[in-house]
Amino acid sequence: MASDDLRPAVVVVDGSADAAPPTADVVAVRVSPGADGAVPGPDALALGQQLGVDIPAYLQREKARGEAGEITAMPVLPAAPKGPKTVLLVGVGDASARSLRKAGAAVVRRARDARTVATTVAVDADALAFRAFVEAVLLASYSYSLKTSSKPSPLRKVTVVYAGDADAVDRATATARAVRLARDLINTPSMEKTPAWLAERAVRYGERAGLDVVVRDEQALAAEGFGGILGVGGGSSRPPRFIEMSYRPRGARGHVVLVGKGITFDSGGLSLKTSDGMVTMKTDMAGGAAVIATMTALGELGVKTRVTGLIPAAENMPSGSATRPGDVLTHYGGRTVEVLNTDAEGRLVLADGLAYAAKNLRPDVMVDLATLTGAASLGLGRVHGALFSTDESLADHLLTAAETAGEQLWRMPLVEDYRDALDSDIADLQNIGNPHKHYSGGAISAALFLREFTGGMPWAHLDIAGPARSDKDEGEITKGGTGYGVRLLLRWLEQAAPV
């Protein structure tokens, strides 16, 4: 766990594209694709000269191709006592942000056991690609472990030579710190991670970042009519919370509300999941984690928009006090919902959050993030988030921000014809689609349900059930909680006014 103290520290030093990097345990230099295999960059040639090795010959012998993220390791004999122990010849492909993101991740993964790394791999990259490189270094080196035997990686310093504006490093560091915070929150087991615990963390990290944080406990929720959050949290001995984080920069342009699903554990409630289906459900607050983490980085990134983060947090458990199938909840603002499946709980807590925002905050835009449906993950896989939006320009901006940030997002339709499946016989709505309507498309009906609570304001919904967690380490993504959403939200808020 390392969100307070970023390890490794990335230190940027000014330098030119044709000099070898400063020395370190591991030194990483560029190679690019050429017609006959990898072509060393001028930095690699300078290093070869310094060390007295024929780098082009070595690349040829190793059949290196220079593709993004390809690593050709070259051990260095102890002839040079103060020199590097290992040289990494790192493929940068077309040197785009995407390629350098791969390269950055590959470098730290290969250098995990070293103490220091120095690299010229991104020395003359454009600012976006350089930022992607540094973010990948800081994200691929993340790990989470509660093993009594686990030792933190010895890697403590990555010196990055860069000819451009070093401001990109500060932005990358702030972004990566936020993503790592989200991962820590997601990876924490639910025995520790109660709604109250999540709220405490939001207060701690939020106040450290200069935000106002207000937490409503179960009495306040009852007094103000948050029936969705109370209904979902009612089965647990650990009561729900509603977290409100506010960022108000001076002279703010516009107001964005972010809402994150904060189910600290999803057993399904009385509509109990299978044991297999429950195993990963400590991650059901990944949307909330992304919102908390995003909020903490807004100041550092100089975001000019007012942003409010709302996290309805509850533990979905079966018990004598749990909501029963057939119960009717009254949401914030008064609308009634018949609960036909207690495992469709995310939309119930989000409905309160969206209704609260629409009534009290009247923002220019609302965006929610939620591990909402298995269907989203089934349809789009484990890499893409599903985007639904009532506003074309908001959707376009989010898609662009995701692309720039290195997160995959895919637009899905809000199919009007499916809406009538949510009509209840006895309440305003029901929380799952009527099975007799045979529409299928579970991610779509969930999104249509949420739309009912947005008060007609421009709104986007990101169903992140697929990408919120990963089963493997790959590129800058680490096994467990991925922190998906933080990078794209921050890019969007940094660049854009509200819509």
Neighbours of 57 (CB within 10 A): 10
Strand 480-481 versus strand 37-40 pairing type? unpaired
The reply on whether position 184 binds Mn ion by CB under 5 A is no
User: Residue number with the shortest CB distance to Zn ion?
Assistant: 266
For residues 86 and 186, what is the distance between their CA atoms, to the nearest angstrom? 35
User: Residue number with the shortest CB distance to ligand BES?
Assistant: 374
What's the min distance (Å) between Cβ of 315 and ligand BES?
Answer: 12
For residues 368 and 20, what is the distance between their CA atoms, to the nearest angstrom? 46
For residue 141, is it left (φ>0), alpha (ψ between -120 and 50) or beta?
Answer: alpha
The reply on whether position 463 binds Zn ion by CB under 5 A is no
Which of 115, 273, 304, 335 is the catalytic position?
273
Q: Are 394 and 364 contacting, i.e. CB atoms less than 8 angstroms apart?
A: no
Kindly tell me which residue out of 25, 284, 368, 407 binds ligand BES, with binding defined by CB under 6 A. Answer: 284
For residues 122 and 137, what is the distance between their CA atoms, to the nearest angstrom? 12
Assign 217 to helix, strand or coil: coil
The reply on whether position 482 binds ligand BES by CB under 6 A is no
Helices (H), 188-282: 195-208, 218-224, 227-233, 275-278
Q: From the list ligand BES, Mn ion, Zn ion, none, which binds 330 (C-beta under 5 to 8 Å, kind-based)? A: none
390 versus 434: smaller Cβ distance to ligand BES: 434
The reply on whether position 25 binds Zn ion by CB under 5 A is no
Kindly tell me which residue out of 118, 134, 140, 344 binds ligand BES, with binding defined by CB under 6 A. Answer: 344
The reply on whether position 70 binds Mn ion by CB under 5 A is no
Assign 72 to helix, strand or coil: strand
- Active site includes 347? yes
| DSSP character string of 466-491 | TTTEESS-BTTB-SEE--TTHHHHHH
Q: From the list ligand BES, Mn ion, Zn ion, none, which binds 424 (C-beta under 5 to 8 Å, kind-based)? A: none
Kindly tell me which residue out of 377, 389, 478, 482 binds ligand BES, with binding defined by CB under 6 A. Answer: 377
In the region spanning residues 30 to 49, those forming contacts with Mn ion, defined by CB under 5 A, are none
- Active site includes 157? no
Rounded to 5°, the CA angle 385-354-280 comes to 45
The reply on whether position 231 binds ligand BES by CB under 6 A is no
The reply on whether position 266 binds Mn ion by CB under 5 A is yes
Which of 347, 451, 469, 491 is the catalytic position?
347
In the region spanning residues 339 to 368, those forming contacts with Mn ion, defined by CB under 5 A, are 343, 345
| Number of amino acids touching ligand BES (CB under 6 A) | 15
Assign 321 to helix, strand or coil: coil
Kindly tell me which residue out of 325, 374, 411, 473 binds ligand BES, with binding defined by CB under 6 A. Answer: 374
Strand (E) or helix (H) holding 396: helix 392-405
Binding site for Mn ion (CB under 5 A): 266, 343, 345
Positions touching ligand BES (CB under 6 A) are 266, 284, 341, 343-346, 371, 373-375, 377, 432, 442, 465
Instruction: List active site positions.
Output: 273, 347
